[in-house]
Chains A and B, each alone.
Chain A
Amino acid sequence: GEDVEQSLFLSVREGDSSVINCTYTDSSSTYLYWYKQEPGAGLQLLTYIFSNMDMKQDQRLTVLLNKKDKHLSLRIADTQTGDSAIYFCADNWGATNKLIFGTGTLLAVQP
């Protein structure tokens, strides 16, 4: 089955850039997503990228996709303490409407 992997933890200082990485195995995914989960809250869609794109920028967020290596990254510029959360990447497995989630990366922003 599909496997989506992320590093478990990332710590950055406020104002620095954060880069969260994700690898996946399903080459038929058409969309890849980044979700944010704050403590005690549901999931918030941050951004998504279509599989035929290399890059997508949305304000402080930049998504890079290397389809050949099946590698996805999320860069957060000027990271703030409010960005502290768990970030999940996900893909739509087999180009269906089912989302397969990564293991999640806990981002800790130090003031």
Chain B
Amino acid sequence: SAVISQKPSRDICQRGTSLTIQCQVDSQVTMMFWYRQQPGQSLTLIATANQGSEATYESGFVIDKFPISRPNLTFSTLTVSNMSPEDSSIYLCSVVPGTGPLTEAFFGQGTRLTVV
């Protein structure tokens, strides 16, 4: 299993500013992902955070808006840049321990972001 700590747990930000969300895992993990959950909706994958290389973004998400860092196997950050009210969501970090086929993905508690 994996224990994930996400910071901050919530924040209220002014439009036009940026927020960096941290994800710390208690063990080395190969795969780390960032998801967004807009109000009342399901989770949408933003990107795969690759250790030592650029993140892989899903359709509709770009690096300029959501820069991601993954300096090692236990830590990643997601930045929400130049925020607008439409960015108000819960952002979740997810990890898949091990290197075999996906059997279990663990999620952080999420960061609840409100942009005013």
In the assembled complex, which residues on chain B have CB atoms less than 8 Å from the CB atom of A99?
Answer: 33, 43, 45, 94, 105
> Nearest-CB distance from A105 to chain B (Å)?
10
Expressed in whole angstroms, the Cα–Cα distance for A18 and B112 within the complex equals: 30
Expressed in whole angstroms, the Cα–Cα distance for A35 and B48 within the complex equals: 20
Expressed in whole angstroms, the Cα–Cα distance for A33 and B107 within the complex equals: 13
Q: Given A42-B107, A42-B108, A43-B107, does the pair A101, B43 have CB atoms closer than 8 Å?
A: yes
Q: Please indicate which of the listed interface residues A95, A97, A101 has the most CB atoms of chain B within 10 Å of its own CB.
A: A97
* B13 CB–A CB distance under 8 Å: no
Q: Please report the total number of A residues contacting B with Cβ < 8 Å.
A: 23
* B61 CB–A CB distance under 8 Å: no
Give the contacts of A3-35 with B (CB-CB under 8 A). Answer: 30-31, 33, 35
Give the contacts of B78-110 with A (CB-CB under 8 A). Answer: 92, 94, 96, 101-110
Binding site for A on B (CB under 8 A): 31, 33, 41-45, 48, 58, 92, 94, 96, 101-110, 112
10 contacts between A and B (CB under 8 A): A31-B102, A41-B109, A42-B109, A43-B107, A97-B33, A97-B96, A98-B33, A98-B45, A99-B33, A99-B105
